[in-house]
Homo-oligomer: A and B are copies of this chain.
């Protein structure tokens, strides 16, 4: 972090956002090995799992075992989703270092996805934030569908601003902007950030852009021009797209790291060690990741 201007913080979401969208169940110890390999590759923010109601997301039903199985490592923070009071309680019982709450900028999406209005979803977070505050741990916020919703179409940037503001008022230290369906081009991101940055400083915003149509990296570069320095990505592009077999979902961390390093930015991440972590979990999944750099490096 010698050069703050040039440092980009990556949040690795492979173990949670990635695996959650993979059909093949992964044994708990393979997840732990994966997460620890990601930390060895230099990741300092790793979304490790989600403390949801058992059975809701079978792939993540071993949240307690995964989380308690992780070795603490200096400088590395393991994050877990804590969607409600019970989730945060379970997280804290597992020694949670950082929680995360999530909602969307589209009413139609929260209805379908978490069976609540945006208001209701935010009302639930009061308890979560109070528990986290008592325990002295930070909480990150996620807003999905910041550009377009699969049910409601285009989303007004003002609606995104409103939800971001409410999450920040609740006490999250940062909001990750989820371009959930991977339709955005750089101009979409520019239009969104034009609105958000009038009220919210860039250091409180992260970009979480899906690469379903190959546009995520271009959007990252545009966001960097706006001052954003925090991005989410999934090693190997894990996570796919639940709607399209073989299609890409998350932006692959290797693709992001490669492009950032070559552009003169620092991430603290070692690309080879990262690809090794990806290759390990790919074996458990029994499928090739979709990340371009991962595939190019293999040869």
Contact with B along A153-179 (1 / 0, CB 8 A): 000000000000000000000000000
Q: Which residues of B contact A248 (CB under 8 A)?
A: 292, 295-296
Q: Does A239 contact B (CB under 8 A)?
A: no
Q: Which residues of B contact A295 (CB under 8 A)?
A: 244, 246-248
Which candidate, A8-16, A18-26, A127-135, A212-220, is the interface stretch facing chain B?
Answer: A212-220
Q: Does A98 contact B (CB under 8 A)?
A: no
CB distance from A64 to the nearest CB of B (A): 34
Q: Does A122 contact B (CB under 8 A)?
A: no
**Copies of this chain assembled into the complex:** 2
Which candidate, A74-82, A185-193, A199-207, is the interface stretch facing chain B?
Answer: A185-193
> Residue among A222, A241, A293 with the most chain B CB within 10 A?
A293
For chain A residues 39-71, which have a beta carbon within 8 Å of chain B?
none
**B293 adjacent to A263 (CB under 8 Å):** no
Which candidate, A108-116, A254-262, A278-286, is the interface stretch facing chain B?
Answer: A254-262
**B218 adjacent to A296 (CB under 8 Å):** no
- Considering only CB atoms, which chain B residue lies closest to A296 in the complex? B247
Q: Which residues of B contact A183 (CB under 8 A)?
A: 262
**B296 adjacent to A187 (CB under 8 Å):** no
Q: Does A291 contact B (CB under 8 A)?
A: yes
**A241 adjacent to B185 (CB under 8 Å):** no
Q: Which residues of B contact A185 (CB under 8 A)?
A: 259, 262-263
